[in-house]
Amino acid sequence: MATLPRASKYPSASSSSFFQRPQSEFDAGINTSTAWTEHLVSGSGSLSDEEPDDDEDTDGQKTPLHPARALYDFEGKAEFRELSVSAGDALEIVKEDLADGWSLVKNATGEVGLLPRTYYTFTLEFTPAPDLELPPSYTRHGRKEASSAESITPRGSPKSSSLALPIVPQNTGEWRNAFPSFRQSLLGGKSLNRFSSFVTSGAEEFVLKGPATDVVIVPDDFSPSHDRDASDTTIDEEEMNRLSRLGLGEADRHFVDAGPAWKEKIPPFRVLVHSPSKRASVLSGAFTVYNVTSLFHSPTIPEADENDQSAETDVDYIGPPRPASPTRITVHRRFSHFVMLHTALTRRLPGIALPPLPEKQYAGRFSEDFVEARRGDLERYIDRIVRHPVARYAEVVTFFLGCESETEWKRLVPQHLSMPPAGPAFYARVFHPAFNLDAEDAEEAVDRFDMHTKAVGKGVQGLRNIFGRIREARVEMSKAERLLAYSLLSLITSKPLASAPMTGVNEEDDQYDVKSKGLHNADGAWCWREGCQDCLKLTKAMQKTSETLQNVADLYDDHARRTQLATHESLKGMAHPSSLYEGVVTTHNSTLSRYKEATLEGRSDEEMAARCETVLNTTMAEMETYHTQKTEDFRTLTKEHLDGEIAFYEQVLSRMKAARRTFDGPQFDQLGDSPRQPSIYERELENPRLTAKPLPQPCPHVFDSAPMRPVSVAIQGGVGLFLGPSTRGSVFGKFW
């Protein structure tokens, strides 16, 4: 869960009391204007239009301005006396501690305004210079400024100067709490959202500060001067596990090739989720267990041409015999195990666009339809994971797919869940060729990618809706074929079909007794003549056609409920790519902004620009991964749909051909050898099966639109997570 931003650096212990916040003795914190007023009361002097450039206190002494740097973007509101800053901007702190976590700061252009305390960090240890004269009350261990608790009337301004300090226009604004941009960010403001992926993934911290010294690892492949281990050097398993727990293992090093595209460390493989079974535990109650089988195909060596003497043959192959079938590893997993996998992957791979887990459900969770739908969703989830070139070799994935011992599982799961989030360390271990991308190309690519994913998402949603109607049409076609079969059988048996439309039938024609003579002969033939072989053969052939149409109706119904349902479910895997890659796009755009700032003339920062290139290589590689997977997904989907339709119509065609052959000799001639037997469907004529069961629908995608709580209720619930019980809810009266 994302947390509110905090400054990563604070003044040292020796200077903490130096910058200790003064305690207000009146209710300061209703709005930012109160914070401004408290500043005027405390000993910094007035900020009138006649105030000099350099801040002076009322005794004529200069108040030291402490250098700082902005950690995050903040779009201030002029009416609230707030100052707009960008991450990395140099600042001077005029007054650190005001009400409700605000500070009075000055930017490089001389503008003065309010800024949240958590949005900047000091850049120096503020030890007074030896030649700086300070008033006796201004000591190293405390800053007790004269302020009156009895009055909040501002003191007089210091001596005027010819240089006027620009002041942001001020109006008394509404209350803004200790989280100044919380409302704006949460409700879609234009300022940088502190819950955006650029922040939560650690990309921002990596770009601004770089990696920590203990996470910088230079891979052998990218540094020719790096010393390589000798071939006989081994690392014991305990040491490898220790490095893995610290995030320093081989699985935590990721490489980007030209493209940019992720470099695959291991070949792709398949994972099947199958054979769900219900189990029970004394502690956890009933639950469903799925078999998860990994299929590893051995690399194939092409057969040598007999005429090519230089080609490699089977004689040149050295190694164990090639298995006739892929290697299989099967483990048993429940839904909570998939939750553990997703949680660990999200923490260790923050820069990767991971697919969402299917939603957890309790009602009807053991029904056959739901278990099968959940099985398909979990299979599509894990398949998407192992198809990703980076997530595929993550240690938690290897552990999830390979740990067969329940004891070992229980021992190692806490270790994977207790590993700290990778954050900026993830990007610090991404290695890519130099000059692997161009900034202009990267900007154009992300715009095209964003528009394309939105268009794909809209198109897939439309396709899902149309496909649902296609399945319904198949069910209707099943009803039509069945009604045709009943009508044909009713015709040759002279038994009326209940609920059948009787348009165009005269009342006189409808007046006849089913048991009357003349409707059938003794052999059951549809004829008034006894011993008529031609009518007997025709009647039996038409009865065969009626039964064939019943089978065709069953095929239509089954095709809509099974084959087309699987295709309908598969469409979820391609739905909402824009939502899935929204974090990648946000990180990419924010990094591009930092890159442009780092490459400005006169303000160039090569190290920061290099770190931006690393993040951009990561996001561009993710876009390439989507491109590859999209091609594979839609190719597979279309092929499977066509194969299913071909197989379906081939079954229909084979049955139609079999019915057609009964009208030709010698089969038609053989039909006259015996009397007609009643059809199994004759008993249904009085109560035909024309009402189909409800068509099963795919479980909704996590990102599908659904009824939601009122926005205010949802936001208040989120705020409650930060501010504790509802007893403080009255404070947020103006927030809503």
Q: CATH homologous superfamily for 1-193?
A: SH3 Domains (2.30.30.40)
* Residues 125-133: contacts with CB under 8 Å, at least 24 apart: 125/11, 125/12, 125/14, 125/15, 126/11, 126/15, 126/18, 126/19, 126/64, 126/66, 127/15, 128/64, 132/64, 133/61
Q: pLDDT tier at 619 (50, 70, 90 boundaries)?
A: very high
Please give the DSSP secondary-structure letter assigned to residue 123: -
CA–CA dist 485, 479 (Å, integer):
10
CATH of domain 239-300+325-436: 3.30.1520.10
Segment (H or E) for 279: strand 270-281
Instruction: Give the bridge partners for 254, in sequence order.
Output: 430
- Higher pLDDT, residue 226 or 299: 299
Query: Domain locations in the chain?
Result: 1-193, 239-300+325-436, 449-499+530-684, 708-736
- Give yes or no for a cis peptide into 696 (omega within 30° of 0): no
Is residue 536 over pLDDT 90? Answer: yes
Q: Is 519 helix (H, G, I), strand (E, B) or coil?
A: coil
What are 296's strand-pairing partners? 327
Residues 658-689 as b or e (16 or more Cβ within 10 Å = b) = ebeebeeeeeeeebbeeebeebebeebbeebe
Question: What's the CA gap between 578 and 453, in Å, rounded?
Answer: 5
pTM above 0.75, yes or no: no
- What number of other Cβ atoms are within 10 A of residue 143's Cβ? 18
Peptide bond into 260 cis (omega under 30): yes
Q: Select the more confidently predicted residue: 686 or 131.
A: 686
Confidence of residue 601 (pLDDT cuts 50, 70, 90): confident
DSSP SS3 for 557: helix
Pick 624 or 109 by higher pLDDT.
Answer: 624
pLDDT at 220: 45
pLDDT value of residue 546: 96
Burial class (CB in 10 A: 0-12, 13-18, 19+), 583: buried
Question: In angstroms, rounded to a whole number, what is the distance separating the alpha carbons of residues 594 and 616?
Answer: 11
Query: Is a pLDDT exceeding 80 seen at residue 507?
Result: no
Do 57 and 63 touch, CB atoms closer than 8 A?
Answer: yes
Average pLDDT, integer, range 368-386: 93
175-184, 302-311, 700-709: least confidently modelled range? 175-184
pLDDT at 604: 82
Topology at the third CATH level for domain 449-499+530-684: Substrate Binding Domain Of Dnak; Chain:A; Domain 2 (1.20.1270)
Average pLDDT estimate for 84-104? 84
Spacing of C-alpha 550 from chain mean position: 45
Residue 480: per-residue pLDDT: 95
Which has the closest alpha carbon to 55: 7, 89, 93?
Answer: 93
Residue 288 carries which side chain, given as an amino acid letter? T
pLDDT at position 615 over 50: yes
Residue 308 reports pLDDT greater than 80: no
- Give the best-scoring range by mean pLDDT among 16-30, 126-140, 237-251, 284-298: 284-298
Instruction: Identify the burial level of 708 via C-beta atoms within 10 angstroms of its C-beta, where 0-12 means exposed, 13-18 middle and 19 or more buried.
Output: exposed
Among the residue ranges 53-67, 105-119, 373-387, the one predicted with the least confidence is: 53-67
pLDDT for residue 127 is more than 90 = no
State the chain's mean pLDDT as an integer. Answer: 75
How many whole angstroms separate alpha carbon 610 and alpha carbon 605?
9
CA–CA dist 683, 559 (Å, integer): 26
pLDDT reported for residue 226: 33
Q: Are 427 and 612 in contact (CB under 8 A)?
A: no
Contact 584/445 with Cβ under 8 angstroms?
Answer: no
Measure the CA–CA gap between 498 and 688, rounded to whole angstroms: 7
pLDDT at position 635: 97
Cα-Cα-Cα-Cα dihedral sign, residues 199, 205, 206, 207: positive
48-84 residue pLDDT tens: 333 444 444 444 455 678 888 888 888 887 777 888 8
Pairwise CA distance, residues 138 & 368, whole Å: 76
User: Span 116-136, mean pLDDT?
Assistant: 58
- 492 confidence band (pLDDT: 50, 70, 90): very high
Residue 600: pLDDT over 80: yes
Instruction: Check whether 190 has a pLDDT greater than 50.
Output: no
Q: Judge whether residue 29 has pLDDT over 60.
A: no
What does the block give as tokens for 368?
């056959």
Size of the chain, expressed as the number of residues it contains = 736
324 token code pair: 């006739």
Mean pLDDT score, 298-318: 52
pLDDT in the model for residue 146: 37
pLDDT above 60 (res 314):
no
Q: Which of 168-182, 227-241, 589-603 has the lowest mean pLDDT?
A: 168-182
Q: How confident is the model over 241-262, as pLDDT tens digits?
A: 555 555 557 888 999 999 899 9
Whether 404 shows a pLDDT value over 50: the answer reads: yes
- Supply the DSSP string of 643-700, one letter for each residue: HHHHHHHHHHHHHHHHHHHTTSTTHHHHGGGSPPPPPTTGGGSSS----PPPPP-PPP
Q: What is the mean pLDDT of residues 95-113?
A: 85
C-alpha of 87 from chain center: 27
Q: Kindly tell me if the per-residue pLDDT of 313 is higher than 70.
A: no
The Cα-based distances of 494 to 418, 518, 678, 688 in angstroms read 77, 10, 12, 16
Average pLDDT for 522-537: 90
Judged by average pLDDT, the poorest of 309-313, 327-331, 334-338, 613-617 is 309-313
Which residues lie closer than 8 Å to 393 by C-beta, 6 or more apart?
Answer: 251, 265, 266
Angular region, 498: left φ>0, alpha ψ -120 to 50, beta rest: beta
Q: Between residues 652 and 159, which one has the greater pLDDT?
A: 652
Q: Hey, do 1-193 and 239-300+325-436 end up sharing a CATH topology, with the first three levels equal?
A: no
Per the model's pLDDT, the better-predicted residue between 716 and 272 turns out to be: 272
Token output for 528: 């008034």
pLDDT at 233 (0 to 100): 38
Strands of 102-106's sheet, edge to edge?
Answer: 112-116, 102-106, 90-95, 66-70, 120-122
CA 298 to chain centre: 32
Please tell me the distance from the alpha carbon of residue 597 to that of residue 600, in angstroms, as a whole number: 5
pLDDT band at 503 (very low <50, low <70, confident <90, very high): low
Comparing 137-146, 290-299, 482-491, 521-530, the range with the smallest average pLDDT is: 137-146
Q: Which amino acid is at 628?
A: T
Q: In what order do the strands lie in the sheet with 285-296?
A: 270-281, 285-296, 327-334
Output the pLDDT for position 159: 40
